[in-house]
Amino acid sequence: DQQVKQNSPSLSVQEGRISILNCDYTNSMFDYFLWYKKYPAEGPTFLISISSIKDKNEDGRFTVFLNKSAKHLSLHIVPSQPGDSAVYFCAATYYFGNEKLTFGTGTRLTIIP
Amino acid sequence: NAGVMQNPRHLVRRRGQEARLRCSPMKGHSHVYWYRQLPEEGLKFMVYLQKENIIDESGMPKERFSAEFPKEGPSILRIQQVVRGDSAAYFCASSPGGQGYEQYFGPGTRLTVT
């Protein structure tokens, strides 16, 4: 049962344009969401998070949007840079309880120079 | 401030041998999580530990796998009698505890079973 889904396995975006990565979840009990970036042969690196009491969180070039009614979140990267080429994972958990992260299957983002 | 440390980075074992994977959390972090990534898949939770306690092991296979986080020293993920299907990347993450704290990952141990 895949509770967190990233339906686009890959995405190519021109350098300087906006990258939009999408994530859907099925478990309505999730109330804290995170995005991680992963390069080959390295561990995931935390990017940005959002709790369910918000619908938007920004950090520099990265913005995460949360639509609770649709059980959907997205990560916007603007402007996209070549160093952003990596696999992006969204993850979901519970704000109270230090619970495990449930990950999506990832989206491979390629930034075209 | 050193990040999460894992060793070894690469481990090759023959079928039937034991694998021991080590994880030292970030300084000040008392919560450790182990995840496994099979080829072409996302990360799957295995176990969550605090010092000397297993909090959640719902993702651990029932046999051959065990984990510990002793009072002193690193957390250890132990796989006995490895099989080819155990070949994967094993990642450790740590957090300081509290609510909503992000988990910070180590570089992983790539286990290959021949």
State whether residue A59 sits within 8 Å of chain B by CB: no
Contact A3/A92 with Cβ under 8 angstroms?
yes
> Do A42 and B107 make contact, defined as CB atoms within 8 angstroms?
yes
Mind listing the pLDDT tens digit for each residue in A5-30?
Answer: 999 999 999 999 999 999 999 999 99
Other CB atoms within 10 Å distance of the CB of residue A47: 20
- DSSP category for residue B15: T
> Do A44 and B91 make contact, defined as CB atoms within 8 angstroms?
yes
> Do B105 and A45 make contact, defined as CB atoms within 8 angstroms?
yes
User: How many Cβ pairs within 8 Å bridge chains A and B?
Assistant: 65
For residue A43, give the nearest of B58, B101, B106 by CB distance: B106
Mind listing the pLDDT tens digit for each residue in B35-44?
Answer: 999 887 889 9
State whether residue A44 sits within 8 Å of chain B by CB: yes
User: What whole-number distance in Å separates Cα of residue A62 and Cα of residue A19?
Assistant: 10
Mind listing the pLDDT tens digit for each residue in B64-109?
Answer: 999 999 999 999 999 999 999 999 999 999 998 877 678 999 999 9
State whether residue B5 sits within 8 Å of chain A by CB: no
The whole-angstrom distance between A71's CA and the closest CA on chain B is 19
Mind listing the pLDDT tens digit for each residue in A46-91?
Answer: 999 999 999 999 999 999 999 999 999 999 999 999 999 999 999 9
Contact B46/B34 with Cβ under 8 angstroms?
yes
pLDDT band at B1 (very low <50, low <70, confident <90, very high): low
State whether residue B51 sits within 8 Å of chain A by CB: no
